[in-house]
Amino acid sequence: MQVLLHTDKNIDGGVRTAEYLETLAQDELHRFGEHITRVEAHLADANSHAKANKDDIHCTLEAHVKGLQPVVVKDHAGSAHQAIHGAMDKLKRAVGTALEKHAPRRDATLADALAPDTDDAPSA
């Protein structure tokens, strides 16, 4: 899976932000395997010219899924990392839903990808 980061001129799109995005995408979307070919993140500061607001940073994530239209989600928060994390939670659910809607019932590899992630379950 290719992971790309695009930022406006007011967001630090440096190595740390790109590495955070890459790591989070690999961790959160690994269960979809080869179904996702690319994830693009677009970060923007909505009010860079005005006084800082708690939800100024907007993140749009776009997942390119084989055989389907891109899945797009948005989130906003006070920092780039928080906005990326919030959008990634939404993207994980949205990709699962999109794949589930278009999955042939006999595709075992897809069924495995759509099964609940055991890493998300609370430990006893």
Domain hosting residue 12, numbered range: 2-104
Q: Is residue 49 part of a domain?
A: yes
Q: How many domains does the chain contain in total? A: 1
pLDDT computed for residue 47 by the predictor = 75
Q: What is the pTM of this model?
A: 0.79
The secondary element (H helix, E strand) that includes residue 31 is: none
User: Any idea what the CATH number is for the domain that residue 71 is in?
Assistant: 3.30.160.100
- Strands 57-65, 36-45: pairing is antiparallel
Asked whether 68 and 101 are in contact (CB, 8 A), the reply is no
pLDDT computed for residue 50 by the predictor = 55
Q: Which residues of the chain have pLDDT under 50?
A: 124
pLDDT computed for residue 124 by the predictor = 45
b/e per residue 64-84 (b: at least 16 CB within 10 A): bbeeeeebebebbbeebbbbb
